[in-house]
Amino acid sequence: MAWDFSTEPEFQEKLDWVADFCKNEIEPLDLVFPYAVRLKRNPKVRALVEPLQQQVKDQGLWAVFLDKELGGPGFGQLKLALLNEILGRYASAPAIFGCQAPDTGNMEMLAAYGTEEQKERWLKPLMNQEIWSAYSMTEPQGGSDPNLFKTHAVRDGDEWVINGEKWFTSAGRAADIIFVMCTNGMFIVPRDTPGVEIQPYPSTHNWIKYNDVRVPLDHLLGPEDGAKVLAQRRLGGGRIHHAMRTIAQCKLAFDMMCERALSRESHGKVIAEHQMVQQAIAESYAEINMLRLLVLWTAWTIDNSSTQEARTQIAATKFTMAKVLREVSFRALHIFGSLGTTNLTPLQSMYASAPTMGIADGVDEVHKVTVARNVLKEYRPHDGIFPTEFLPAKRAAAREKFAPLFAEDPELEQIADAMAQYTSSRG
């Protein structure tokens, strides 16, 4: 199947609208009211947010990550990637468009595995941002390895009783409901349920202890013992979405780098004329575009097959995006000099987020192992002690192919012998 790099004129109009809308409406809101979308109990701030969200809905761009059968516009991953290249540049843009993390992955799980009653109770309010959610997966003793998880639910009459600890539950303190991954299922737990103990640190990515937390039987999402399947459904999409938005951050750092290079002087000339700065720009340009093509290719593969079929590519985008963000933001920070080390530009925050991107949704090392193992499945060991591309053996096989011609034309064989001797003499 051919891969077309073009974008339909109609969708390009949407992208142009999104770029203009984000720059002129969302960015000013971010700068003056940085947490406006989350302040749902403040009517004055909500009066600023809701008209913007209505414009998004009027454009048919609300909850763009969901397929049509799950209640979204059904754009597919490739178009979603092009949209996220824009949204990822602005802190609250995903929430203004109804596709903010960690709610997106949780909504996907609810849409795919929830009962009609669960969708009515939780999915619709999440899509309307009447409530917020968090995802409680990793644990203090086992990180993201589900084989080391200990958090478990026991059935007791008409309830499940959950016990365990979860580490790095992003936005857990602010969530209304928490999706808790147990060894025997995925459970939806209201945050105010007795026994949900959110520790004072870390402040953003919370450490939560679940002590005899009781929830009704219908709070099990999907089948019992199906947590790993649900988690892969959630994390596969989440990883590619992170990569899409990381491109936006890299491009922002690159734009800042280039502008700064043309604006500052050092040692008698504009710093853009210094070769070290030119090297930083050239390498950043190449790395960003390689990452972008990898992400778009992965998104295209998902659209034309499935997340499962694209798992190797998704893993590759996961560790590549963290590396490119780290390198590009580091170069930009250095070109900015002392200003880059302060919180007066986005660069320090970008560079500080790069290690987190290499750990969130599974550490990069694990994804590299996944890529290597999956790639090696397509290969086989060679016979004998020499590799397939061992030239003397290949030349001998090629000579056999031409043997009938040499038998008919000895002069042609002499030419081949002379060329072989010349090649040998050159080492």
Q: What is the pLDDT along the chain (427 residues), one digit of tens a residue?
A: 565 667 899 999 999 999 999 999 999 999 999 989 988 888 999 999 999 999 999 999 999 888 887 777 888 899 999 999 999 999 999 999 999 989 999 998 999 899 999 999 999 999 999 999 999 999 999 888 889 999 999 999 999 999 999 999 999 999 999 999 999 999 999 999 999 999 999 998 999 999 999 999 999 999 999 999 998 878 777 788 889 999 999 999 999 999 999 999 999 999 999 999 999 999 999 999 999 999 999 999 999 998 889 999 999 999 999 999 999 999 999 999 999 999 999 999 999 999 999 988 888 999 999 999 999 999 999 999 999 999 999 999 999 999 999 999 999 999 999 999 998 888 6
Give me the CATH number covering residue 358: 1.20.140.10
- 19's enclosing H/E stretch is helix 9-21
Same domain as 321, residue 207: no
Domain end among 173, 192, 221: 221
Give me the CATH number covering residue 62: 1.10.540.10
By residue count, the chain amounts to 427
Same domain as 217, residue 243: no
Same domain as 399, residue 314: no
Q: What tokens were used for 317?
A: 């985008």
**Structural domains of the chain, count:** 4
C-alpha 383/C-alpha 386 separation (Å) is 7
Q: Which domain does 71 fall in, by range?
A: 9-100
C-alpha 355/C-alpha 319 separation (Å) is 11
The partner residues of 179 in beta bridges, in order of sequence, read 135, 188
Whose tokens are 């994804």? That residue is 367
CA-wise closest residue to 238 among 118, 85, 93, 100:
100
Same domain as 247, residue 216: no
Same domain as 257, residue 372: yes
- Residue 147 resides in a domain: yes
- Residue 4 resides in a domain: no
Same domain as 188, residue 67: no
C-alpha 233/C-alpha 372 separation (Å) is 21
Give me the CATH number covering residue 198: 2.40.110.10
- 165's enclosing H/E stretch is strand 159-170
